[in-house]
Structure 1
């Protein structure tokens, strides 16, 4: 008896920290991207709250193995780290990653993805967003600690992310710059000074889609539109793409 051929959806993998993990919440940027790609791609959330690029680099081979299955067709991967790496070393040494190591970790992530068949042209880096220090300081105080991040330092990591993307041949969404462009009130994009508000999620979804769309635009609609199914012989319509 021949093995049944299964329907394989291509994947867009979102790899990052809490800003990625939370992206599937109501009005989240990941949910918006997933909605745009229904019946074309599975959007897979691999956001890990609190993680930095050092830990991400260690875990990535367990998330996307080098010997990537031919059935796991990856259309794109977003890499969204830096908001924890940029934590001040003297205030938050557990999450802090030095700037040079951050860049090296991003390069290591791209190298591993390439070994798994995900070439650099399928990778989109996302920089950390700007940080609103007064709002984030309130969050820190509630947790019993001092302000542990600065917007200027987040900007240094954003710049490093942009440089690294250029060196690797990957695309980049520079949130830190875009959200502060033309002296706009970037605080509206943030819910607590660091994480995204509804407006911030909408901003990320809109700008990310402009980079992602060309990578998925030619992917087919998976399985026939219901109105095209032959009622008298549905198997011929539904399984035609799956027969050997």
Structure 2
């Protein structure tokens, strides 16, 4: 009896923080991508709640190696929402702007060296922050407001510039979600980006639906605390 050759689907790797980790929840953007790519690609969730670009850069070699790089169709790199935490309010997760940019470039450089061309890498900027709603969440945890939308915008711009430097694609969520002058902030785990199609652009319909609720991150599941625990992986030097 002849042996059938196994089918191996190309992989799409979603790499990032809690917005990525929770993206496979109901109506999540990760689950939407997996649905769109059914029978075409295996979509792998490699989101790490609480992580910033510094820790992501450290663990990336344990997630992507040369042996599997040839079968990777795309990698999304979605950090910045924790990096942009205010240093004096959340020093554990805060990453200086210049270091954030260099971390993204290093992540892209590693992927290229491993065999994933820059054209298969998609940077995603941090989304905007609804400060009033986020401040309420912080107060519930007994800490002051530790993120500002204007600062998130600086990190978003740095992400766009890093993508241009590396030759990677970029999805500027911070700008897209505010493009009509009405701030729409990502819901818990970024469910609001359920309209983000694999091509890299959120659909206008979903941009305008109630999915753009105040970002709640992962506090409801107690996966992440605005007070911020130290390096979840114990990787910080």
Residue 55 of structure 2 corresponds to residue 55 of structure 1 = yes
Partner secondary structure for residue 112 of structure 2 = helix
Gaps of 5+ in 1: 213-244
Contact map agreement 2:128 2:183 (CA 8 A) in 1: no
Normalising by structure 2, what TM-score?
0.80
**1:202 maps to which of 183, 190, 194:** 194
User: How big is the shift at 1:63?
Assistant: 0.5
Give the CA deviation at 1:4: 6.7
In 1: Cα distance, 2:105 partner to 2:201 partner:
20
CA contact (8 A) 1:131 1:150 kept: yes
What's the CA shift string for 1:170-189, capped at 9, x where partnerless? 01000001111120241xx4
1:71-107 alpha-carbon deviations (Å, 9 max, x no partner) = x600000000000000000100000000000000000
- Corresponding residue SS for 1:181: coil
Deviation at 1:143, TM superposition (A): 1.1
Q: Structure 1, residues 24-73: CA drift from partner, whole Å, max 9, x if none?
A: 000000001000111110000000011000000000001102x3247x60
Distance in 2 between the 1:59 and 1:179 partners? 30
Matches within 5 A, 1:9-158: 9-65=9-65, 67-69=66-68, 73-158=71-156
Contact 1:33 1:209 in 2 (8 A): no
Which of 190, 208, 212 lines up with 2:186 in the alignment?
Answer: 190
Which segments of structure 1 move beyond 4 Å, counting only runs of 4 or more? none
For 1:210 and 1:182, how far apart are their aligned partners in 2?
Answer: 19
TM-aligned CA deviation for residue 211 of structure 1: 6.0
TM-score (norm 1): 0.78
Q: Which runs of 5+ in 2 are unaligned?
A: 203-237
TM-superposed CA distance for 1:116, in Å, is: 1.3
May I ask how many residue pairs the two structures share in their alignment? 202
* Residue equivalent to 2:225: none
Q: Which has the higher contact order (CA 8 A, sep 6+)?
A: 2
> What do the CA deviations read for 1:188-215 (whole angstroms, capped 9, x no partner)?
x4336xx53x5x2233x24x53469xxx
Whose helix proportion is higher, 1 or 2?
1
Q: Which has the larger radius of gyration?
A: 1
